[in-house]
Amino acid sequence: MDLERLLRGPIGRLPSGLAERVYRVIRRLPPIRRRIDAELEKMLDAVRERVKPYRDDVATHRRLPSTGLAREDVIATVASLAARERPTWEEGFASGAVYHGDAGHIEFLDEVLALSSQANPLHADVWPSVAKFEAEVVAMTGAMLGSDAAGPVFGTVTSGGTESILLAVKAHRDDARSRRGITRPHMVVPETAHAAFDKAAGYFGVRLERVPVGDDLRADVTAMAAAMTRNTVLVAGSAPSFPHGVIDPISELAAVAASRRSGFHVDACLGGFVLPWAERLGEPVPPFDFRVSGVTSMSVDTHKYGYAPKGTSVVLYRDAVLRRAQYFTATDWPGGLYFSPTIAGSRPGALSAGAWAAMVSIGEDGYLEATTRILEAAARIRGGVEAVPELQLLGDPMWVVAFGSDVVDVYQVMDRMTERGWSLNGLHRPPAVHIAVTLRHTRPGVAERFVEDLGAAVADVATEPRPSEGMAPVYGLAARLPARSAVGDVLERYIDLLYEV
């Protein structure tokens, strides 16, 4: 790759910190900047076709139509685009993304969303139904995650796992300032913790320390403890981690955090609606929820394995005082008294209604049945990965199956899987790919198709390696380039690309 050769030549062998400083200096030199910009544009040309496929055959609107389009024409356009995109998720080619996808379930949720389309939780006096739905979603989620044994837990509905984590960090920061007088807050997370912790650190001025994980890809308790300081307001672990699907040692981490008077957050966004049912099914699930003394907050996504519409999550706290630390109130605004439990003001009440509807309609028996199917499909996929000699299974996953390779370029394997219709998640440190198994993959023949395609993709790369296309080269660059700002430049340009008309 030209960009990689350009950057690895002068800085590729430097330590990451020094490489970062050198890159920032040379990036300001006009000749180097022009070359880097040109290479970034060339790299994104290969991605542009995949993320902007409608430019040549669907009308583009750069300004409002002088006369509004007929509603039936608008509906026809949306329906046409949805039909083109449906096979990828409906036929089980996507990792995660759509977690249920059954036509009857979608139709049911769509009806709930339509009935609640105007509801806004900001106006609880107008739509008290949404307050009912959200309170019950929080209560049901808390009961699922240990409140029956641990006592009452408190929480709110949010827009997704990232917001749940943001609010948990903000609440612990403010609570520690109030209770412990900490003005230079610090948090400690394993390097596999979700990037939302980095976002929270940037948004809320909390110094973030990421700690390397052990050989088993789980958080290293001793190293995490050593990283804590008197200013540590939050320690976190994952159940399971997004990259590798392994569960951190929650009990041990929570005990260390409690001994230092720090809060402890469990990111169960991915696993909160699977692990309780897997435990009931007899799977060896280590303690991870509010039954663990020292756990002060949790995040869990209703819109993943809770099978709710996209756009809802729950953040939970062990006590009400900590929950209040996430709230915002304004008492002197000329517009009146303003208060908001989460980051947004107005919110789509329809999504909260949809989360409630999904949970009460599925029930415990439905979640148990879904988890059984997912674990069975994941076991077949895991076995298929382990049967490919060139691949290495990472960690000891239950349903998020990650694999790498010391023999073939795993990003080229991901690229060949993309050509076969699959949408998988690229990882790095170490270079790897994962598939998050959902109900879409439990349909007859889907797991077997994945295993067959994966074997063929590996064989293709082993016998005929070639340059990757799409996002695969970006992951490859990120894995090899020590200057992280250079990778950030690529990602920022990718975001720019998404907003091109």
Give tens-digit pLDDT for 160-189.
999 999 999 999 999 999 999 999 999 999
pLDDT for 216-233, tens place per residue? 999 999 999 999 999 999
State yes or no: cis peptide before 348, omega within 30 of 0: no
What's the confidence (pLDDT) of residue 333? 95
Contact 157, 312 (CB under 8 A): yes
**Above pLDDT 90, what percent of the chain?**
83
> Number of folded domains in the chain?
2
Which CATH number covers residue 215?
3.40.640.10
Residues 308, 178, single domain; the answer is: yes
User: Does 482 reside within a domain?
Assistant: yes
User: Does 89 reside within a domain?
Assistant: no
Domain boundaries, position 491: 2-51+475-498
* DSSP-derived secondary structure for 465-497: -----TTHHHHHHHHH-S-HHHHHHHHHHHHHH
| Per-residue DSSP letter, 29 | S
Residues 44, 167, single domain; the answer is: no
Residues 301, 164, single domain; the answer is: yes
Residue with tokens 């907003």: 499
More confident residue, 248 or 477: 248
User: Does 120 reside within a domain?
Assistant: no
Residues 184, 301, single domain; the answer is: yes
Neighbours of 380 (CB within 10 A): 17
Residue 437 has pLDDT above 60, yes or no: yes
Residues 324, 211, single domain; the answer is: yes
User: Does 370 reside within a domain?
Assistant: no
Residues with Cβ within 8 Å of 142's Cβ and at least 6 positions away in sequence, in order, are: 152, 153, 154, 155, 290, 316
pLDDT for 352-397, tens place per residue? 999 999 999 999 999 999 999 999 999 999 999 999 999 999 999 9
Both tokens assigned to 340: 């908001």
Residue 459 has pLDDT above 80, yes or no: yes
Choosing from 347, 362, 387, the residue where a domain stops is: 347
| Cα–Cα distance, 30 to 454 (Å, whole number) | 44
Which stretch, 338-342, 427-431, 470-474, has highest mean pLDDT? 338-342
User: Does 317 reside within a domain?
Assistant: yes
Residues 166, 276, single domain; the answer is: yes
Choosing from 324, 347, 370, the residue where a domain stops is: 347
User: Does 19 reside within a domain?
Assistant: yes
Q: In 3D, which of 343, 293, 294, 296 has the Cα closest to residue 316?
A: 296
